[in-house]
Structure 1
């Protein structure tokens, strides 16, 4: 085993035990959360300490087009320096040969971290907490659909066919029989996760047809964002083995609930105590301030938590999605829920983020809003103890509006990084303008000869 392999996690070493490593995938997350990079023979990887990619990968839109950021060096596509983070090395157990994936840190040639790289944005927010003696802790939940193969975008997405030969049943939340319908896919998800060293806290059937939720153990925000980044690929590969697709679209099927990435937050002090709870177990001012920060700044962060035009189809009342930024204890009709817990585990659940968001950016934005609430001393609105679906919505209704709100919040922009804000807005505006050129079936059906 070479020196660099000895620096990898035990799960990666166990995966290779008795085998020769064939290939290494050097990867980074782009703005949508797609893995970009290069694959190379393991022998070549072992001889190099750094690699290169053009900075222009962060100007590519979800459609594969390119946004113009108006900066001269953008046209020359200067290289960024990629340095492997060996602690992220994990198996790619679906490949034909013995392969490891390794996430890389990104720096400019000047040595500074690339300011618009999503993983660096999250690291900078975590560093802001650390500078005040705090340690943020998160626990994400991942919702997604298993659907029938769809190779024609003109066709509607349909639930996958289960082992009984019937399309996956809808509205059977927490049903074990519904989970059994696609048990073979779940078995592969568990097997792949074990090979990659990831711990799943549980898998449940959600309210949609073929919709599942994976809960993850609480921990370090960067580490968990890495795992979600890996998990999305893992789940897609498991689904493909069984002739179906896994989709993380926020609203893939008309008339079914959307898919969210709920984020649970708590904050520890230097002694490891939850700052949301006093020694007597009562709630602290910091707990209220964190919620106040989420209420005040999340409207500006929605552009990161709901990054596509489809994302806003999820915010529909009575479809298990939040449509407001009210808060309440054990209340699933609010956007900010305080789950039942003992004082040591007191936390705030942000239910706004969609599963289509980049996990680094979704977690960074949510933590940033809570951080700003703490340092600004924000006071939340009164708790909602009733059904809150009729509350006034703080959430933008489309991506164009969300981007304008994002650009107006200077405190959030400063914390996430102005250069990141500029690049992100440029790319998302390009995507939105491209979408506006598309004429939908609804428009053809109802407007063609009626207006």
Structure 2
């Protein structure tokens, strides 16, 4: 890691940061001359910092705060090492960190450790998950009281309309996307295809699959920080809110995954379009865990605005082949690339918790050898299906009582996340729609 600073003498300052349970970066600015100390000795801040609410406030009656004396944990660099921050004016590098106890044990309330715990379960079975994400977001002019699409840098006009796969939209924002792709190269984020989506100023960028779930989560987290920061440099906002405009489509974060065995073979592939028994077991595990996972897939007050029948956000618990109306889709194509697409999550999620929840649920199903119900055909919105929790408080209750979630996450993280969401639910009732929108626009 020291080599990075030697090879990049232009770096003036360092940020050290970890993701809290809401996916917010929490950390410090460090002068370059003291970076070596952070690398070798780590940095310290309270355990409670990874368990703040969306406003950045302590959780009322948290055992991590006054009851324990608000003690420090030690945060050490992750294996990712330094990452440039191209949206900052002065040359700056981010050192991602995660939290440990002084005796070296991982802090159970750290979401990155929660994902590492799931990955270890896979390794114990000789398996490696391969993960890719589809990142949807809006570019927004938030200078007025109402959110609007920014004026085109090319024409100066606002096109407040859907532009599905419109090249003119990509061309209009070419300067921003060129800068974004250059930044992704610098940060080693595998950004692939960009398309314009169904909302005004809405886009999707695919991040390529990686046989390293922790890197895939890092990439998604860094990407959200990058898009938000770079948009501000270009004079507008970017938002991963689940549904910033009531009349237009929401932004999802679809996750694709397959699983390799020790020989590198995809265990979902049986040479046919149907896929293997392992694929069905993984599907069954994901379906069983879906109600309990909803608080992770839709973690905020406005997340539930997205789940509208007929709007490409699933509302029922079902799976199908090559069908975008269902919660789980099995894409067609080369059997060697057989995979599951999980389509429930919004763009407002914490990537570490999301990937841990989905991979953990799939492994539950594989370990139990359970079979899913038959794959459906046709429009899932017209079927009589078990429904996903449709409100924030219902999702909180489902998460609290889910045996599947208890298998995936440590008890301390479950308790901390529940306390966070219950506090947010309580105080969010005091805010009007515009205040919620302003809060979430700048945080998620």
Distance 2:405 2:122 in 1: 14
User: Which stretch shows the higher mean deviation, 280-289 or 341-350?
Assistant: 280-289
Instruction: Give the 3 Å change call, closer, same or farther, for CA 86–97 of structure 1 in structure 2.
Output: farther
Q: Aligned pair 1:29/2:19, yes or no?
A: yes
Tell me what 2:378 maps to.
386
Q: Aligned pair 1:249/2:241, yes or no?
A: yes
Q: Across the two proteins, how many residue pairs are aligned to each other? A: 428
Tell me what 1:420 maps to.
413
**Deviations along 1:215-247, whole A, 9 cap, x unmatched?**
011011110111111111111122112211000
- Tell me how far 1:325 sits from its aligned partner: 2.1
The two structures have a TM-score, normalised by structure 1, of 0.91
- Tell me how far 1:269 sits from its aligned partner: 0.7
Q: Aligned pair 1:367/2:359, yes or no?
A: yes
Tell me what 2:163 maps to.
172
Q: Aligned pair 1:198/2:189, yes or no?
A: yes
SS at match of 1:331: coil
Distance 1:291 1:281 in 2: 15
Distance 2:64 2:138 in 1: 42
Distance 1:376 1:57 in 2: 36
- Tell me how far 1:66 sits from its aligned partner: 2.3
Correspondences of 1:180-259 after superposition (within 5 Å): 180-219=171-210, 220-259=212-251
Correspondences of 1:5-44 after superposition (within 5 Å): 5-6=2-3, 16=8, 19-44=9-34
Distance 1:197 1:369 in 2: 28
Q: Aligned pair 1:91/2:84, yes or no?
A: yes
8 Å CA contact retained: 2:292, 2:404: no
Tell me what 2:93 maps to.
100
Distance 1:47 1:70 in 2: 31
8 Å CA contact retained: 2:26, 2:50: no
Instruction: Give the 3 Å change call, closer, same or farther, for CA 439–283 of structure 1 in structure 2.
Output: closer
8 Å CA contact retained: 2:47, 2:64: no
Tell me what 2:152 maps to.
162
Distance 2:274 2:147 in 1: 48
8 Å CA contact retained: 1:31, 1:358: yes
8 Å CA contact retained: 1:168, 1:181: no
The two structures have a TM-score, normalised by structure 2, of 0.92
8 Å CA contact retained: 2:273, 2:332: no
The answer for unaligned runs of 5 or more in structure 2 is 435-444
**Deviations along 1:10-49, whole A, 9 cap, x unmatched?**
xx887x2xx3432221110011111111111122111342
**Deviations along 1:239-271, whole A, 9 cap, x unmatched?**
112211000100111201000110001111111
**Deviations along 1:275-333, whole A, 9 cap, x unmatched?**
11136786211111111111111110010110001000001112221112211111111
8 Å CA contact retained: 1:56, 1:74: no
Which of 257, 264, 267 lines up with 1:275 in the alignment? 267
Distance 2:167 2:222 in 1: 26
Distance 1:343 1:212 in 2: 29
- Tell me how far 1:424 sits from its aligned partner: 0.3
- Tell me how far 1:69 sits from its aligned partner: 4.5
- Tell me how far 1:170 sits from its aligned partner: 2.4
Distance 1:281 1:212 in 2: 30
Tell me what 1:114 maps to.
107
Instruction: Give the 3 Å change call, closer, same or farther, for CA 250–315 of structure 1 in structure 2.
Output: same
Distance 1:340 1:71 in 2: 48
Instruction: Give the 3 Å change call, closer, same or farther, for CA 132–173 of structure 1 in structure 2.
Output: same
8 Å CA contact retained: 2:271, 2:336: no
- Tell me how far 1:86 sits from its aligned partner: 5.0
Tell me what 1:402 maps to.
395
SS at match of 2:35: helix
SS at match of 1:361: helix
Supply the RMSD in Å over aligned alpha carbons. Answer: 1.9
User: Which stretch shows the higher mean deviation, 429-438 or 299-308?
Assistant: 429-438
Correspondences of 1:273-312 after superposition (within 5 Å): 273-278=265-270, 283-312=275-304
Q: Aligned pair 1:265/2:257, yes or no?
A: yes
